[in-house]
Structure 1
Amino acid sequence: MTDVVSLGSANVDRIRYLPTDRIRDLESRYDWFPAAGETVRIDESPSLLSLEAERYENVVGGKGANQAVAAARAGAETAFLGCVGSDEAEFGVLETLADRGVDVDHVRVAADLETGKAYVFVDDAGESWIAIVGGANDAVDGAYVDRHYDRIRTADALLLQNEIPVATMERLLERLENETARPAVIFNPAPSDGAGPLCSRSTVDIVVVNETEHAALEAHLASFDGTVVRTQGADDVVATGGVDHRVTPPSVESVDTTGAGDAFCGYLAALSGEGVGLERALETATVAGSLATETEGVQNGIPDLEAVERLFESEIGHD
């Protein structure tokens, strides 16, 4: 069984389901508003707290936590490392992750902070726009990583995103450079702002980006020595660099794309240590990402391995 660590964010996702024209109005009204498929950082916004929507819900999210759940659903022994606020029990953040098969024993609870938030806007076609408020995620510092360094160093795969401080990840990656044995590092630079320097670290093996992130980081990715994996919604997933491979996603009835990338990354990390080869891991992760769009929400929509393998065999398969 693959041992995966996801070092990253845990959020309370405040999901608002809105008509497409309403979201377009928000795009024109606020200069900070994300583009479709994009994640951006913002300060707390009272206007978002009072935003009316026909349907809304609050659920456990955060890219670090989501990808940990995906790795666990893929069959990996998975630990999440990060920081939540004193309000986490109100939303059941740690309890939910534990119920979904993730080890949360080493998550820090910061008594003086609130758990991070993500404002997720989903339109009629299932496309998503995401704005995050750091909260306790910003307290994931070098001292915390140092305390749990051995747990990270001995894992088979390490998942990183960009919803915790870049300096913390840089410190960790620099330390891993001195190890003769280390985990395979999969970096998902979302949001892309400030993520460029991490793409040049020799200890990053795979960078997973969507179309928006790829455009923002193209100059940095051009000099990256590892494998770049570009997801493109319903279009082909394209891997270049260490492995050159293209995967056509299966046809699905998409209702919410929010969790597709996290499902993809978690599955990729879990399978990369199983000895199946990176090409097969990419194919299976693509199926997982596609299936995740068939259900509203993120963590509850991440499919289990049995469902992924069943669709894989019918849509992609091998001789």
Structure 2
Amino acid sequence: MNKKGKILVVGSSNTDLVIQTDHLPVPGETILGGNFFMSHGGKGANQAVAVAKLGGDTAFVGKIGTDLFGKQSCELFNKYGIDTTYLYKDEQTPSGVALITVDKNAENCIAVASGANMKLTPADLKHSMSAIDEAEVILVQLEIPMDTVEYVVKAGKEKHKKVVLNPAPAQKLSEELLNGLYLITPNETEAELLTGRKVTDVVSAEEAAQIFLEKGVENVIITLGSKGSCLYNKKESLFIPAFKVKAVDTTAAGDVYNGALCVRIAEKAEWKDAIVFANKAAAISVTRAGAQASVPTRKEVEEFKL
């Protein structure tokens, strides 16, 4: 394994309440579901756990409530060796909760009550500056307030960190936020929203990626679900096919992918190797139920074979 730098993940932490059903309900429909289980989730927390389980040195900046859900999340982070020095607690607001329905085809629909996640402020990040200073890679998503995202991205760029933005859930982003990003990792839907180009295949992904590059993003990886991933920068373009597996639950597959990718970036891996590693980790995760519960270990990824 290559020498690795520290990875800072800034983002959300939720508790997922999951029901497995035959099909996803339509408006007004009540379904008698199958199994119910509770799992720890939230894009930021999922990615931090993925980094930790896949061998990365990680710290997590987020905000939770002082309730049972928040306490359990904190205990889990500590179990995986995640630095929680800057995991803040809000005594007035409950921890984030997600209600997830998963059908027999592993498709899902998700409703989130963000709770304390939306109380993570730029002021909290000012108090977390030592974590930004120590990081080589900073990974952030969009389940926290946009002004907080903008603050940490700006601080990371000013300190010459490798800032990776996973633009999910999809929403519009400013030109200033995009300019100078080390890497952006949208899926087809997110890429279309941000560039105005419908993405369905490698050709349309490249068209969208060129728009990101023109806006000052250094590297672009557009994920195409079960098809694979496309990398673009000024020097190279790559398409890496996904591994074919029987999916059980796609929840957090993108988070596992992003965490895995950042682990290999911190280890100075070549892009192809990093993407293959991320594809393997995501492929394993969709064969398991739950969010953080589906994250594979480094050993499992390295031994993964079809």
TM interval, short-chain normalised: 0.7 to 0.9
- Aligned twin of 1:165: 145
TM-score, scaled to structure 2 = 0.87
1:52 CA drift (Å): 5.4
Which range moved further: 51-60 or 10-19?
A: 51-60
Q: Tell me the alpha carbon deviations over residues 51-105 of structure 1, each in whole angstroms, 9 at most, x when there is no partner.
A: 8532222221100000001111111111111000121457611101221232223
> Given the alignment of the two structures, is residue 307 of structure 1 paired with residue 284 of structure 2, yes or no?
no
For 1:21-170, what aligned pairs fall within 5 Å after superposition?
23-26=24-27, 29=28, 53-88=33-68, 92-170=72-150
Structure 2: gaps (5+ residues): 197-207
**CA distance in structure 1 between the partners assigned to 2:265 and 2:26 by the alignment:** 42
Q: Secondary structure at the match of 1:103?
A: coil
Report the alpha carbon displacement of residue 24 of structure 1 after superposing the two structures with TM. 4.5
Q: CA deviation at 1:186?
A: 1.1
Identity %: 27
What secondary structure does 1:283 align onto?
helix
Q: Secondary structure at the match of 1:25?
A: coil
- Write the deviation string for residues 241-296 of structure 1: whole angstroms up to 9, x where unpaired: 35411111122121011121011000111110212222211111111111110100
Q: Offset at 1:215?
A: 2.1
C-alpha deviation, 1:199, in angstroms: 7.7
**How far does residue 216 in structure 1 lie from its aligned partner after superposition?**
1.8
C-alpha distance in structure 2 between counterparts of 1:201 and 1:216, whole Å: 14
Aligned length: 287
1:177–1:202 CA contact under 8 A, matched in 2: no
Following the alignment from structure 1 to structure 2, what is the Cα–Cα distance between the partners of residues 287 and 90? 30
Measured against aligned partners, the alpha-carbon deviations of 1:186-226 in whole angstroms (never above 9, x if no partner) come to 111111124x2278433421111222222222249624332
- State the SS of the aligned residue for 1:66: helix
Asked if the contact 1:247–1:282 (Cα under 8 Å) also holds between the matched residues in 2, the reply is yes
**8 Å Cα contact 1:173-1:203 kept in structure 2:** no
Q: Is residue 2:173 matched to residue 1:188?
A: no
> Which residue number corresponds to residue 288 of structure 2?
295
Task: Name 1:178's counterpart in structure 2.
Answer: 158
Report what 2:192 is aligned to: 215
Which residue matches 1:240? Answer: 232
| Aligned with 2:7 (options 4, 7, 26) | 4
Aligned partners of 2:153 and 2:163 also within 8 Å: no
Report the equivalent of 1:36: none
**Unmatched segments (≥5 aa) in structure 1:** 31-49
* Structure-2 separation of matches of 1:217 and 1:70: 26
Match of 1:228 among 220, 228, 238: 220
Bigger drift between 216-225 and 120-129 goes to 216-225
> Is the contact between residue 132 and residue 156 of structure 2 (CA under 8 Å) also seen in structure 1?
no
Compute the TM-score of the two structures, normalised by the length of structure 1: 0.83
